Amino acid sequence: MTSARRQVIVVDAANVIGSRPDGWWRDRPGAARKLLLKLASLQERLPETTDVVAILEGAARAAVTGPDAPDVGSLRVVLAEGSGDDTIVAVTAESAAHESNPEVTVVTADRGLRQRIEPTGASAVGPRWLLDQLDSL
């Protein structure tokens, strides 16, 4: 009996949030909290062999601190100390190098970032791919 191949979805949260002009710039932590709650709901519905990792950078990092911090269950949230893109590349490379050889997908529309993750063997999809899934929840 073969087990399902592990999948990792790495989310460029800033890129996904910024893909919709819904006023996110007025409250970056609030927009990030909203996305994290949707991602946590998606994570609950995915097979156990799929992990979602959200990368937060800049002001959006405040979304997971303080009394307003959402309960995101098993969703993995990584706070970028510096460049969000550098953190995404590092998380992607770490995930791709895992012994179970997972299928890694990065959600971003950033062409430069897409080029940087290619050497890891990861694939990239645009924010619309993820937003369509989140909108259907």
Distance in angstroms (rounded) separating the CA atoms of residues 79 and 55: 6
Whether 1 is in a domain gets the answer: no
Domain count, the chain: 1
pTM for the structure as a whole: 0.93
Q: Is the model more confident about 86 or about 3?
A: 86
Q: Is the pLDDT of residue 1 over 80?
A: no
Q: 31 and 13 in contact (C-beta within 8 Å)?
A: no
- What pLDDT is attached to residue 99? 75
Residues of the domain holding 130: 7-135
* Domain CATH for 116: 3.40.50
Strand partners, 53: 10, 76
Q: In the predicted model, what is the mean pLDDT of residues 100-106?
A: 91
In a domain, 2, yes or no: no
Count CB neighbours of 131 within 10 A: 16
pLDDT digits (tens, 9 = 90+) for 45-73: 999 999 999 999 999 999 998 777 889 99
pLDDT at 3: 60
Alpha-helical (H) ranges within the chain are: 13-17, 28-45, 84-96, 111-117, 127-135
**Which carries the bigger pLDDT value, residue 33 or residue 4?**
33
Residue 61 falls inside a structural domain: yes
